[in-house]
Amino acid sequence: MLSRKKIALLLGLLFSLFLVWYLFLKKSDYCISFKVKAATGTIFQGVQEWSFAQSVSQKETCITLEKKNFDFIKQEMNKGNTRMEYTWEMKSINDSVTSINVSIKDFNNSIYNRLTAPFFSTSFKVEQIKKISSFKDALENHIKNFKVKIEGEGSSEDTYVAYINLKSVMQEKAQTMIRNDEIITGYLQQNKIKIIGSPYVEIVNWNQDTETLNFNYCFPIEKDAATVESEVVHFKTIPALKGLKATYYGNFRTSDRAWFTLLDYAKKNDIKLDNKPLEHFLANPFNGGNELEWETKIIIPYAKK
């Protein structure tokens, strides 16, 4: 049996090792955790939008140091002599809930914060709780503005369309469509080609690292329509697809929230997807009205084997 002296030495050694790790090796000074009813990617986008708002309202300079998979982002925020690091990690718990862990480090007062934050309401601790709470409130307000209904496995029909090819960052997809709407609709009207249904967006390439899109903005037309090709407007059949489907209710600017919901669902159910969503917009935003009644059908096809 170990003597009391040896036990005390062992415990002292373990405590010393813990202190070395806690004070010098641990990556953060303080952590804040909470849960939100949203997909990981929705929260990821929310972090970036909130950071931009902070840079405007609080005069903070925000630099993204690392990001991946729409569930991890590390940022450095600077204001005056203050230099902070925020590491956001999002983990999907189920189809509607995500846990968020925010690790915070103050480069100027790291050891002091580590010693005091667990026991006292220091200005650092109070300020960080207030800051992350403001993000959580803003995120929850945003979530109230849309709904996503997962429908599971489904399919789409082949559709003959006129289309123009566009490129944008994810956050500006809808604005890019609006800017180019008159180009394609005007061309079809000029050439007496009748639009027979609601528009589609066909994602050609989704670069998740750069958050950029290459997509076709499409309008259904009759298959036997007398088409006239141009340098901008082209014609083709969007093939029938089989994949995961969802219905999105809300402003088209944030329809990618449904994409993220489907990605989380696929990940949890070990379903491989070809990340090229097809969106079918069933409402006309130019008519106004309640955005929560704007309906979009979305399908992300299965990955080819």
What ranges do the domains of the chain cover? Answer: 4-144, 148-301
CA distances 33 to 26, 50, 100, 103, Å, are 17, 17, 6, 9
pLDDT of amino acid 268: 92
Q: Which residues of the chain have pLDDT under 70?
A: 1-2, 5-26, 286
pLDDT of amino acid 26: 59
- The identity of residue 69, as a single letter, is N
CB 289 within 8 A of CB 250: no
Q: How, if at all, do strands 72-79 and 82-92 pair?
A: antiparallel
pLDDT of amino acid 127: 93
pLDDT of amino acid 14: 57
Phi, psi at 288, each rounded to 5°: 70, -150
pLDDT of amino acid 96: 81
pLDDT of amino acid 102: 96
Which 3 state secondary structure label does DSSP give 237?
strand
CA distances 84 to 80, 81, 112, 133, 191, Å, are 11, 10, 14, 17, 58
- Least Cα distance to 17 among 26, 4, 7 occurs for 26
Domain 4-144 shares a fold with domain 148-301: no
pLDDT of amino acid 5: 66
pLDDT of amino acid 6: 61
**pTM for this structure?**
0.87
CATH of 4-144, one of 3.30.530, 3.30.1490, 1.20.1530, 3.40.50: 3.30.530
Assigned CATH topology for domain 148-301: Multidrug-efflux Transporter 1 Regulator Bmrr; Chain A (3.20.80)
pLDDT of amino acid 1: 52
